[in-house]
Structure 1
């Protein structure tokens, strides 16, 4: 993330403790592998016991649990694979395990979209393997790798396979979002030097990632069911992770991939408690009344502490920056921590709890900066390419549009733009006929906002 100027370089110590993969070696054992194995083991420790308990009365319960174990085992294989053809074998094995789990758990409605998109990703990856082994078509091979990663990460138009997985039991969703979907990120991070050598592939990766981020944010802001919102937020998160990779920030992409996988799998496993939590919140005492000055002080403190911690680690431990991509990432991460800190401080029932929440978020911001910078020593560096200026422009435009979406959704929900956004977002991931029908209905009633809001509400509740 940042370069070090001190002789006591913690990244050098981490690099010395890692064993980089040798050319032609079947397995890779380095810091990237270690981080990914932590993700897989953590998810397995949570998902497999949960599946064993929750599926005990299901006639396919044992088979689904075995398939989940195979999904996670093949993801670990994917992290350990050295050459591209070995990675392809692990990739296809994880596809088979995923389709078995979707078919047993969700039937045809979950299996069919997954089979179409996941097999298409396999075809793209193996075509890249063949071209790479022949030593021809570097641009074509890199572009095929990008396509395979985008399809596995459920970027549009492939988000329907991840939405269809909602028909499967909760443990399947947790394993998908914590492991299988991350396969696209693993592919890009491990093969980033090859992808970065191609201007076309790098720009395509940035465009697909930016579009996925926009679609995921728009849809997750509108979706009303808990698991559906989690699915579409995963689309947005995968888009952001791949956008970091396109900018050459492989270490930041790896940190985001691991953190999101652990966090999202835990959210899926606890999604069934959402109704109980909402009921508890309604019965809870009213929020502490604050004066305008007190509310401003809380918001400012909650936002400032995480940002200061992030900046302190970046400047004190890692003096100097390498360029615009790192600065852009820090701005985005700082804004995210500031928003979370201000909200947590404002909702805290007491001043002491507000201070504790701000301190915890500050520790999280410092840990993020430290982890990303340490891992940058063991992640294959992305060479500076002629595509970087274009990728930076794409990233800036994407983030500006994300902010615009939030503003429209928050302050102008009944404007023409707001209603169009909701109509589009409600159709994301739905069957094509239903999506076209929804758009036609919304366009026919665009001059009567009340009737359109009624139809959107009815569609969301159904």
Structure 2
């Protein structure tokens, strides 16, 4: 087969990813048309978003590595155009260099793979390119600076473009899995991104800044799960995060109104200490029991330590959500309904992951079983998050908390303050984009996580 043969992928994986791209486009483009009406660059920004999502769709169905790289570069060009038109020079200051570096690294991997280069270099280069596109540290500043662009651009970035790194890893995993160095690097970058994203999200005081930090952490989690060979779980997380995060960005302007409404709301339903404990325990145990039951039915013999670690992590997440929902519900009936809904979500996750594993042909390659370092990094990530939770719970203003606040400020970058006239259709008031220095962690007395 010639290196320039055109081969298209229309397997179930590609179809599922196309559903994500089309869904994001259906939500973002009408919003962009309305919110940028009257802006002198509004039409250009909207067309750039169309080009971004079209290139991502081409990336999904590309059957050859060179075709994938071509779609990747087209998406980069459209992203830079959207950032430049919507956010100006501040939005391009770090995004341009990082995205171009990612393109160069990917094309170098294409050249080495086409030349039949032996060794691990092509696989490692693919991981680096994916990490840059997913904004994993140290490449995360480009995504932070994208906040200078209007909300529709951010929604398209987090729902489509950033996911390109995950698409690259999933579609090219057979090549990446053959390289122990690439798998180890993928796990290490994912672990660092999880911890860095969580720390940055804890200290950001702006809604969009927290969403950016959350995306860094979520992309790190997806990469770490992929490094363990759990491609179905990584794919499900990629699609769910794309829909969820783009919706959050589109509704971010309503955050202040929601906070005001919460302040005006009546006080929560008063309960006794015993009832609160019962609610918390029930809210935690019911979703976990449902998740474990479905997992045992789907995988009666178990599938190894990687699957067990992922199951425990997801169980903790559902248990936390259930406990909080039950404890804050204004009535017992509402608490029971919320816990039941979270349990249904846990069942849906386990069932969907099991179904995707078989239907999409994403079985775990045998090579991954011989890569214990990926599992070690996963354990490190879980341990770091548990330690962070302990510091927030028992010493939110202690020495360690202040040190973590300082690190979080450094990772989160400066806050972005922009004139919202660009998004209300005002053509008479020019957009002003100015960054103001972040609050110094040495002078801040805010306990850790108090603004999160």
TM-score of the superposed pair, with normalisation by structure 1: 0.88
> Which of residues 437, 445, 452 is equivalent to 1:453?
445
**Does 2:379 align with 1:396?**
yes
Matches within 5 A, 1:11-410: 26-377=7-358, 378-385=360-367, 387-410=370-393
Structure 1 residue 430 displacement after superposition:
2.8
Instruction: Give yes or no for contact 1:131–1:138 (8 Å, CA) kept in 2.
Output: no
Unaligned segments of structure 2, at least 5 residues: 415-436
Cα contact 1:114–1:161 (8 A) shared by 2: yes
* Distance (Å, rounded) in 1 between the aligned partners of 2:148 and 2:447: 24
Counterpart contact for 1:250–1:379, Cα < 8 Å: no
Match of 2:408 among 418, 425, 449: 425
Q: 2:447 & 2:11 partners in 1: Cα distance? A: 53
Structure-1 separation of matches of 2:412 and 2:89 = 16
**Partner Cα distance (2:36, 2:354) in 1:** 41
User: What is the Cα-based RMSD across aligned positions, in Å?
Assistant: 2.1
- Match in the other structure for 2:423: none
SS of 2:266 mapped into structure 1:
coil
SS in 1 for 2:397: coil
Conserved? CA contact 1:31–1:375, under 8 Å: no
| Partner Cα separation in structure 2 for residue 455 and residue 337 of structure 1 | 26
CA distance in 1, matches of 2:338, 2:91: 39
| Inter-partner Cα distance in structure 2 for 1:373 and 1:25 | 32
**Relative to 1, partners in 2 of residues 1:189 and 1:207: Cα closer, same or farther, differing over 3 Å?**
same
Shift of 1:257: 0.4
Q: Deviations over 1:423-448 (max 9, x none)?
A: 111122437xxxxx989x76xx6xxx
Could you tell me which residue of structure 1 aligns to residue 396 of structure 2?
Answer: 413
CA contact (8 A) 2:135 2:142 kept: yes
Residues 67/379 of structure 1: CA separation in 2 closer, same or farther (3 Å cut): farther
**Is this contact kept in 1: 2:184–2:374, CA < 8 A?**
yes
Residues 454 and 212 (structure 1 numbering): CA distance in 2 closer, same or farther, change over 3 Å? closer
Q: Write the deviation string for residues 23-63 of structure 1: whole angstroms up to 9, x where unpaired.
A: 96611111111111111111111100001001002111111
Verify the 8 A CA contact 1:192 1:380 in the aligned structure 2.
no
Distance of 1:144 and 1:196 partners within structure 2 = 13
Contact 1:64–1:105 (Cα < 8 Å) also in 2? yes
Question: How far off its partner does 1:390 sit?
Answer: 1.1
1:275/1:136 Cα in 2 relative to 1: closer, same or farther (>3 Å)? Answer: same
**Secondary structure of 2:160's partner?**
helix
TM-score, reference length from structure 2 = 0.90
- C-alpha change, 1:253 and 1:201, in structure 2 (3 Å) is same
- Flag structure 1 segments of 5+ consecutive residues without an equivalent: 1-22, 432-436, 446-450
**Farther off after superposition, 37-46 or 304-313:** 304-313
Describe the superposition over 1:302-323 as per-residue Cα deviations: whole angstroms up to 9, x where unpaired.
1112111211211124322211
Deviation at 1:380, TM superposition (A): 3.8
